[in-house]
Structure 1
Amino acid sequence: MVTPVARRQAVAHLCSSFEVSQRRACEVIGADRSSVRYLSLRPDDATIRVRLRELASVRRRFGYRRLLLMIRSEGVLINHKKLRRLYAEERLQVRRRGGRKRALGTRVPMELPQGPNQRWSLDFVSDTLTDSRRFRILAVVDDFTRECIALVADTSLSGIRVGRELDAAIARRGHPTMIVSDNGTELTSMAILRWSQLTRIEWHYIAPGKPQQNAFVESFNGRLRDELLNETLFSSLDHARELLAEWQVDYNTVRPHSGIGNLPPSTYAKLTASDMQRDGTLRCVEGSAPRPVASPSHTGSNDQRIPPIAG
């Protein structure tokens, strides 16, 4: 019995079980009567605890910092230290998953794009349906606003299909200046090279075996897998597409992003657009996340067999 709470419980037990006075019980266990009689003045946090548990049950991979942002967005004023205490008392800590390999050696900070649609990053993510059939997801991200531009799921995604999906994204958002990808067979195919030449969009290939040079979409893939793919069993391809569309809307409009000042990507894009219309300057918000590292190679892929892109 080293804590005041434990001593109060012991005194209450002696008084009820052995019918002794509080003074006698305190003498037996060596407790201070003023400590035993103390009444806490701490306010009742039942409402906040209930809401915290509700958010944590829906956002199972959110830590207390993002839950704090979401609770504050609902108009609740609470100190971050108090919410962290409630978060720990409710045992809502996120269990860390297994480690991953990390790049070693000297790395140069990556230059960030200076506006929307300056640079898009894309990559593939794979997952499995409940009947053990595998499917792939094409993820496209705007490196400046951090918006998820497209999430396309199918059992096969060829270079021609990638070009069609990019055409659909361009029709909604406009032409990007550059697209960054790895050296996958679909992305180095003649269909993509021909598409790049026709659209006059520069296509930049990272160095083989250097996924950190495509850090924005790799980070997005980690969030997608951690918050949706690892948490959901997909019964069919249509089911996967439906949940991916819902998660994409939530990611762009609700989920706070630490890299852009804890704002949702769509909100940050609107603020940036309004600043450009008002005074011609971009709104650049420094977030709490570490800056991305490992700049892409300016010479493109190290594989000499890949033909250069004209234009």
Structure 2
Amino acid sequence: MAGKREKAEDIVMKLRQVEVLQGQGAKLADAVRQIGVTQQTYYRWRREFGGMNRDQLKRLKELEKENTRLRRAVSDLTLDKLILTEAAPGKLLSPSRRRQCIDHIRQELGISERRACRALGQHRSTQRKIPVGRQDEALLTADITELARQYGRYGYRQITGLLVQAGRCVNHKRVERIWRREGLKVPQKQKKSGRLWLADGSCVRLRAERPNHVWSYDFVQDRTADGRAYRMLNIVDEFTREVLVIRVKRKLNSVDVIDALTDLFILRGPPEFIRSDNGPEFIATKLRNWIETVGAKTAYIEPGSPWENGYVESFNARLRNELLDGEVFYTLREAQILIERWRKHYNSVRPHSSLGYRPPAPESIVPVDQRPTMH
């Protein structure tokens, strides 16, 4: 009997047997001897199981089992809290981030891979899988970085458009992943204005429906390095988004506007409408009579409502954001050359979001299999 561990049911049965023997007049020592244990063992058993029947013993075992389960649950929750606290800095949105975090947690807390994966929702096969990137990942990353350096005010969608123009088969999601991984900054997006329509759904301005339907023009002012001001006359085709001309001079008046429009009318023909604000250069009688004479119509916006001339206003913002704010012009001639070069780039290369990230007026259409790749 030495070394044998009694079951709880057997202990209760032997205690009841001792009670029966004592009830028959047997001494305690003789009764204990009959069940095969010492008196010390008997007293210990009676202290632990005395007065219990089988149903009560069963209930005790269930409570002990439930207590063990609850202690294990509390322990697991405590460990989960430690794991989540250790993993708190940063969001775990991708398997690679979770993989790195789990390795870090295992090193810091000394827990198993299985436990860490369960706490952070990572499948163990995903944790053990060695990621294999695409063969062109390094080359594409270099191209994206170079384009971001060259065009510092472009976001990842415009960079995607440039890559597609160059013949790269890539979508914006992959470019965005590399963009964020490399820590490249996306220019701030301007909030879209919703004031082009009245409450009854009617349009508050004429909308372009085809090329040469509606042109819009406006002035932008800047200064050269010596502090002297110069002005730019910007003329935009609202349908194609093409910048038809940027006339750069120290001073511009209604005669200069007529001169710029004359060159465009000879080259492209007059549009049906020309939209502008109510600046003195645009409402001059000489200019209005000349426009009516050549067969076009003027469309003026409401005073103090620049959003009604949104296309050219948006272009003015792009011009200032992507060129004027980042360049120092020492002479007027330098400003004329660089602004004209940027205008050609804007028309033929720069991806435009409203055109499906294609340029407004590409110089040529090259088949995909003949496009140059970027290195």
1:236-255 equivalences under 5 Å are 236-255=331-350
In structure 2, distance between residues paired with 1:4 and 1:253: 44
Residue 36 of structure 1 deviates from its aligned partner by: 8.1
Q: Highest relative contact order (Cα 8 Å, sep 6+), 1 or 2? A: 1
Residue 76 of structure 1 deviates from its aligned partner by: 2.0
CA offset digits 1:25-50 (Å, max 9, x no partner) = x6963253988865322335211111
CA separation of 1:131 and 1:213: change in aligned 2, threshold 3 A: same
Residue 217 of structure 1 deviates from its aligned partner by: 1.0
In the alignment, is the contact (CA less than 8 A) between 1:60 and 1:94 conserved in 2? no
In structure 2, distance between residues paired with 1:65 and 1:225: 20
Residue 166 of structure 1 deviates from its aligned partner by: 0.7
In structure 2, distance between residues paired with 1:102 and 1:216: 14
Secondary structure of the residue aligned to 1:54 is helix
Residue 99 of structure 1 deviates from its aligned partner by: 8.1
In the alignment, is the contact (CA less than 8 A) between 1:120 and 1:141 conserved in 2? yes
In structure 2, distance between residues paired with 1:69 and 1:121: 26
Pairs aligned (count): 256
In structure 2, distance between residues paired with 1:145 and 1:71: 22
Residue 73 of structure 1 deviates from its aligned partner by: 2.3
Q: AA paired with 2:188? A: R
* Runs of at least 5 residues in structure 1 that lack an aligned partner in the other structure: 12-25, 271-311
Q: Percent identity?
A: 32
1:1-311 equivalences under 5 Å are 2=87, 3-5=98-100, 8=103, 29-32=110-113, 38-43=129-134, 45-96=137-188, 106=198, 108-109=202-203, 110-267=205-362
In structure 1, distance between residues paired with 2:130 and 2:343: 49
Secondary structure of the residue aligned to 1:179 is strand
Which is greater in Rg?
2
Residue 79 of structure 1 deviates from its aligned partner by: 3.7
Aligned Cα root-mean-square deviation (Å): 3.0
In structure 1, distance between residues paired with 2:358 and 2:323: 20
Q: Greater helix percent: which structure?
A: 2
In structure 2, distance between residues paired with 1:177 and 1:28: 74
CA separation of 1:119 and 1:269: change in aligned 2, threshold 3 A: farther
CA offset digits 1:252-281 (Å, max 9, x no partner) = 1111222233322124999xxxxxxxxxxx
In the alignment, is the contact (CA less than 8 A) between 1:143 and 1:216 conserved in 2? yes
In the alignment, is the contact (CA less than 8 A) between 2:213 and 2:271 conserved in 1? yes
Residue 197 of structure 1 deviates from its aligned partner by: 3.8
Secondary structure of the residue aligned to 1:209 is coil
Q: AA paired with 2:294? A: T
CA separation of 1:95 and 1:198: change in aligned 2, threshold 3 A: closer
Q: AA paired with 1:40? A: P
In structure 1, distance between residues paired with 2:108 and 2:254: 81
Secondary structure of the residue aligned to 2:235 is strand
In structure 1, distance between residues paired with 2:331 and 2:194: 34
CA offset digits 1:157-213 (Å, max 9, x no partner) = 011111011101111111112111111011112331332243232112111111111
Residue 144 of structure 1 deviates from its aligned partner by: 1.6
Stretch moving more, 261-270 or 194-203:
261-270
Secondary structure of the residue aligned to 1:266 is coil
CA separation of 1:118 and 1:100: change in aligned 2, threshold 3 A: closer
In the alignment, is the contact (CA less than 8 A) between 1:145 and 1:268 conserved in 2? no
Residue 95 of structure 1 deviates from its aligned partner by: 4.0
In the alignment, is the contact (CA less than 8 A) between 2:207 and 2:214 conserved in 1? no
